[in-house]
Structure 1
């Protein structure tokens, strides 16, 4: 198909494009006196550059192929390396030119091979920065992968292969990061921890990961921030807020740093929803990564983050039309009251790296995380049921002309939480030829002080509804009940909890060859011991678990480039504070770790189509989960039973085809099938809250052939409906209906005024810009009404209970400007 024809097809479907299929090799070149060398020639077969006065360089090379790079300078022996990088990779190579020692003759670097063997998905930083999304960033790209679910565009949380939001590990520069505790709706989340302006590399594993990663049941997101090699700055601004980052390096090349500031206001989304509100919110953070090379073998790094999020929400009215064409209904709600929330998080980590020898690297990491959270609200809602106007020719189409009183609801909360988490960890890596040994030991102290005070009073047609306890018969409104008013639900708890953890791991990896068949394997084991101290009840509980894990990969000597993988083991998730707290707010120190047996079978097939590189990755997985801690989901807040009284399973198939569907770009199509069920108290299997059966994700890219600077970006997601949840106190076995299917498309169209392929001579106003783009985004371009949860409305007059969908954001238009210096 001709490129012009393909563009118009993609344009009709609102498709899009991202960056060219290239990678970058960059670094600093010094002599044996640690002095930068000016004028070192760095050349490949199709490109070349040289070092500047600071000894820094940056070279663009084609991706997904072997590229030989030569470093040459008068008086020094040439250095040659062969690299094979995936699209968007940035590889730092800092050779040291010595006059008295013969230089390295050849180094083979293939970053893509490790990811293929370990089943890791690598996401290009440029794609992450350019992908359109209501909450743009790493999480937006993750939701396009098979097996990853995120049905709330205002939330950065995601579920993987049937797990929940608490089952995912996130690392930045090998340092574990945390999320706030009290957030219950996505619109309270302004920013992801990960600042995409600082990112160098993103790797993601959806299961069967190695022992060196922590103890969670679902996934690992491993992010590396870049170390600058030159001065640079970036700015991004839109109707949703903006970000700015600055990076640089000292004259002696020992100290480098990058700082990013971000601000976001979700008012554009919240004010467009069906609930009329007075909304005031601001989400801001400052983040930095600093690095200081003390000697050529010893380096110190600091990662810091300060985040302040204010959320003020005053709902006024809401109308939701639901029902069927034959029996249309509408819920009309009038509100009084407001919600005032504040989330402040402070994070700092110091990392020391020492190259003891050419074969041994030791690291020491210390980090502290503090979150102070406030969730205060008093909201009174009077809701009425009516019939909307369905006359297509009427000016009042969809409006409700008559309603009947259905009831009212008062919700109250005074929730405050202060958590301090301290980590101290030692890690080591021993590498001898193809043998790799990793080990580590980590101590964690968690101190959580929590006040939970919330209640809900429900009135239906003038009658207060009491909790549906088995020892109380509620005959209202047919028989009057004159007892004192009782909240339908009430939680009042004060907790002071300390948790001490000791974790350790060791793993061995090797590559061998049998005949012409390459075999890779990794064997590892983790141990986790924790002690919970409940200061208010003077209760102490200690437990320990051991988790063996293994990965095997085989690359046959075939004409076709294929790798077969099998991985799995025993995975545990020792309870975090939220998993210890039951529905009444009481901490249960004796909650055990959830345990899962993973088995993942994978195939990685790289091939050429239309003389362009493509890759098909397929994975079959199965999880058998015991000691399950059942939970319910309220938007994005999870409430645990704090009781290991269930078992569960999950199995499915994930497939992703990515490659150059359009020459010079990378796109992908993904498909996922999932089934996950749980059995609570041996009552039989029912769908888990994250049982999303089918998933399709599409990342497509294109540009106008005659105007290549006009870029298009599009992501498409289709998910079948999740279970719709259940009301408070209800038996989940009685509520197994599902939400409507989730369908969403986000489009971005940008014009590139300057980039690496479009430079300008000195004196031109665009000369200072490494990149300058201007464009617009359309979120939810087809204006689909997606829902995340149900609101359950009780009508005493008809003795019915209605599940009213809570709809997400409609179509939104956004302007965006991006630049890099």
Structure 2
């Protein structure tokens, strides 16, 4: 498991053996796909050890004599070599095991890690780095998996099996990470926390996860950064930004460092949209991961991140054509004003790992996260809604020639938020024969200061449009209305909030055999207590308990299959945003949302075209209660701050992955989902994330005659989400959906040099790898929309929904080098 890998890794940079009569052999064991081999046996003379969940091992050997070392694992060919080590010497050896199938009668035994038994999806980080996408990164690849959906290529947010963006856990090196609060649209987000250039292992669970993970309702993304063994560096540059990373170790081997900087600019994507703008974004971050080994038992690590998203946006004009061939319409808008948003986040964590014995590991972690955010904008939009001239060849073709509605809109905001989170955590892992025990306790303090000042004024044909109150009927301009003028929407609030949390978990797992069948058990429980203090009042302390369990079996069959079932009670205590209602007021009495998870899964590994493939299928059901309803507009979530709903979600996920092309990994995924909610016993309606059908394809290929020419295709098709109605509308009266989301991104890359290059021009270059590439985003130029703008024609009293389109076809060029 990850906890054991951290501590065995601290043995890798061991104490000084200068005066000892022993030596150290260490390294990482990989398979032919560069994946770590778990529980491999490394033996020599009368001593031995096993590799951990990251493939790392350390073996102390007698010095001054020739020794034969054997590396073995069921399902792989043995690696046998001889070594002669001097006293105090440390030798690194990284063997690569080649697969073999060992026949016993008619039964085939193959190596399998705990990931298949626990339902965790393991993804090759190199695929993350090569997959094309308008917002490249880990989240871009997740969107190709079944059960994971997003209808916005400018956003790194994703929803899983009917949940929303706030229901996903993200860990880096076992430390929970966060994202900004105030982001309203995908084009404002910039960069996610995870830097794909630093990733070593990427694990993902879409539900039914273990108790050692936190209290969220939907998913877990567990990232582990690389552990440097020598100096490496890389640089990738393109029209959308620049990424650089470097890593290395000290001469003593005690200190290792891994770092990266990123710069992202969405101008190419945003300025290709229908709104003509002056767009000046600055999205940049820097990350650093340091590890220092004091001895073979104790190491200290640091993970730090500083990010700035400076978003400056000045819209000028917009024309959106919509309607039908019989009645083509257009919305023409002229803007005045600008928007300036700033999101500055800083994160730091210190983690100490102590190997008390070969069977017990302890970790102590302290982390802090600070986010300073502001949204300032004043934008006046003057619009005309009318019919479009469709006379082909005419001078006015495509122009609005007859206005059916005119008006103006003023939007204003002065929003500021300052959040500080402090966490202190202790976790441990104990091994007793075949039994593994994990436990942890964590204290968190959250201090949030939030000021909301925003309003919207809508004018149509000289008449101020009043807010859509339930008991209000507006008959203007046919009947006068003499009430005072008020904004269409207005939110004013100031909240100073402190939240104290105490979390704990304990779990047991066992991997054994039963009648020669391999079986796996896991059972655990979490507790979460919290209290909320604000200026007005202090809430009572609330406590929830979450029992969880898993069972898996790999039958001793000729066919390689795994069956598993998992579930439990998953509870999500409210975060700050879930405490704030539509008007900005805080409700500290909001309770935890609860969900009963039941997940049944099956894996079938087989050979096709003499190459390995795997078919993974899961069916799931989630029964949710104490649900906190919300509205979703672009990526902005606003909660009712009231546990007045119940909901359910069920569906099926399928994924077929393997070597469709020899030497490459590709997959096809399919998901079916239905999720509905019942608010205040008014009946069940679709939730905002009711993504009925989802298809995803990740395909990699190369030209047989030119193997250095690679192709990467990322294709996603999602049926339309609910969201085609005004955000202020009663969801029980409006259940219209957005159009289906269809997108395909293509990447082409040519390796000018790799480590085995024979090209004479770059043969003497000190670069390990040089590549150039071309990316085509939205290659079929589909017009996908994320929301609708609603414009009223005062004469006919018709409310038109005008789609807000996402990015069209865009081209990008890239160049990458590695040292």
> Is residue 794–residue 802 contact of structure 1 (8 Å, CA) maintained in 2?
yes
User: Where does 1:384-783 land on structure 2 (aligned, <5 Å)?
Assistant: 384-392=384-392, 397-535=397-535, 537-758=536-757, 766-783=764-781
Contact kept? 1:618, 1:655, Cα under 8 Å: yes
Within 5 Å, which residues of 2 pair with 1:146-185?
Answer: 146-185=146-185
8 A Cα contact 1:30 1:95, kept in partner: no
Q: For the Cα contact (< 8 Å) 1:27–1:58, is it kept in 2?
A: no
Aligned to 1:139: 139
What secondary structure does 2:539 align onto?
strand
Q: Could you list the runs of 5+ residues in structure 1 that have no partner in the other structure?
A: 1-25, 42-50
**Aligned residue in 2 for 1:7:** none
Q: Is the 8 A contact 2:122 2:202 kept in 1?
A: yes
Inter-partner Cα distance in structure 2 for 1:703 and 1:394: 48
> C-alpha separation between the residues in 1 aligned to 2:146 and 2:717?
11
**Once the two structures are superposed, what CA deviation does each residue of 1:39-58 show, in whole Å capped at 9, x if it has no partner?**
x99xxxxxxxxx9xxx8789
Equivalent residue, structure 1, for 2:296: 296
Q: Offset at 1:106?
A: 5.5
Q: Structure 1 stretch 315-324 or stretch 197-206: which is displaced more?
A: 315-324
Whole-angstrom distance in 2 between the partners of 1:697 and 1:812: 21
Retained in 2: the 8 A contact 1:80–1:104? no
Q: Which residue in the other structure is 1:93 paired with? A: 57
- Whole-angstrom distance in 1 between the partners of 2:200 and 2:429: 22
* 1:363-382 correspondence to structure 2 within 5 Å: 363-382=363-382
Post-superposition Cα deviations, 1:453-474, rounded to whole Å, max 9, x if no partner, equal 0001111111111123244443
Partners of 1:723 and 1:736 within 8 A in 2: yes
Q: Call closer, same or farther: CA 1:487–1:81 in 2, change over 3 Å.
A: same
| SS of 1:579 mapped into structure 2 | helix
Larger mean CA deviation between 432-441 and 670-679 belongs to 432-441
Instruction: Show the counterpart of 1:254.
Output: 254
Deviations 1:377-414 (A, max 9, x none): 01111121112233455575543333343322111100
Distance in 2 separating the partners of 1:107 and 1:749: 39
Residue 299 of structure 1 deviates from its aligned partner by 0.7
Structure 1 window deviating more from structure 2 (511-520 vs 625-634): it is 511-520
Q: 2:786 is matched with which residue?
A: 788
- Relative to the length of structure 1, the TM-score reads 0.90
The residue aligned with 2:100 is none
CA shift at 1:66, angstroms?
8.4
Deviation at 1:725?
Answer: 4.5
Listed one character per residue, the Cα deviations across residues 184-235 of structure 1 (whole Å, up to 9, x for unaligned) are 0000011111011111110000000000000000000000001100011110
Q: CA deviation at 1:93?
A: 3.4
Structure 1 residues 769 and 326 mapped into 2: Cα distance closer, same or farther (>3 Å)? same
Deviations 1:760-806 (A, max 9, x none): 79x95554222211111000011100011111112211101111111
Residues 1:147 and 1:766: Cα distance change in structure 2 (over 3 Å): farther
Partner of 1:22: none
How far, CA to CA, are the matches of 2:28 and 2:648 in structure 1? 51
Cα deviation, residue 322, structure 1: 1.2
Structure with greater contact order relative to length (CA < 8 Å, sep ≥ 6): 1
Whether the aligned pair in 2 keeps the contact of 1:27 and 1:93 (CA below 8 Å) is: no
SS in 1 for 2:577: helix
Structure-1 separation of matches of 2:537 and 2:223: 40
Cα separation, 2, equivalents of 1:323 and 1:698:
32
Q: Counterparts of 1:187 and 1:476 in 2: how far apart (Å)? A: 37
Q: Is the 8 A contact 2:666 2:698 kept in 1?
A: yes
Query: Which range is displaced more, 325-334 or 114-123?
Result: 325-334
Residue 241 of structure 2 is aligned to residue 241 of structure 1: yes
Q: What is the root-mean-square deviation in Å for CA atoms of aligned residues?
A: 2.8
Q: Distance in 2 between matches of 1:123 and 1:456?
A: 45
Query: In 1, are the aligned partners of 2:42 and 2:70 still within 8 Å (CA)?
Result: no
Whole-Å separation in 2 of the counterparts to 1:180 and 1:188: 11
CA distance in 2, matches of 1:301, 1:391: 69
Structure 2, unpaired ranges of 5+: 1-8, 76-110
Is 1:808 the counterpart of 2:803? The answer is no
Q: Which position in structure 2 is the counterpart of 1:335?
A: 335
TM-score (norm 2): 0.90
Match for residue 11 of structure 1?
Answer: none
Deviations 1:265-288 (CA, angstroms, capped at 9, x unpaired) = 110011111011111111111101
Preserved contact between residue 11 and residue 297 of structure 2 (Cα < 8 Å): no
Matched, 1:820 2:792: no
Change (3 A) 1:62 1:335: closer
Question: 2:350 corresponds to which residue?
Answer: 350
Tell me the SS of whatever aligns to 2:598: strand
Contact 1:28–1:36 (CA under 8 A) maintained in structure 2: no
Contact 1:120 1:204 survives alignment (8 Å): yes
Q: Match of 2:230, SS?
A: coil
The 2-side partners of 1:791 and 1:132 are apart by 30
TM-superposition CA deviations, 1:523-558 (whole Å, max 9, x none): 0000000001112x1332321100000000011111
Q: Secondary structure at the match of 2:128?
A: helix
- Say if 1:57 and 1:677 are closer, same or farther in 2 by CA, change over 3 A: closer
**3-state DSSP class of the match of 1:481?**
coil
Range 327-336 or range 310-319, more displaced: 327-336
Secondary structure of 1:429's partner? Answer: strand
Query: Offset at 1:29?
Result: 7.1
Q: Quick one: structure 1 residues 57 and 328, their matched pair in 2 at CA, closer, same or farther if it must change by over 3 Å?
A: same
Give the direction of change, closer, same or farther, for the CA distance of 1:307–1:252 in structure 2 (3 Å limit).
same
Deviation at 1:61, TM superposition (A): 3.2
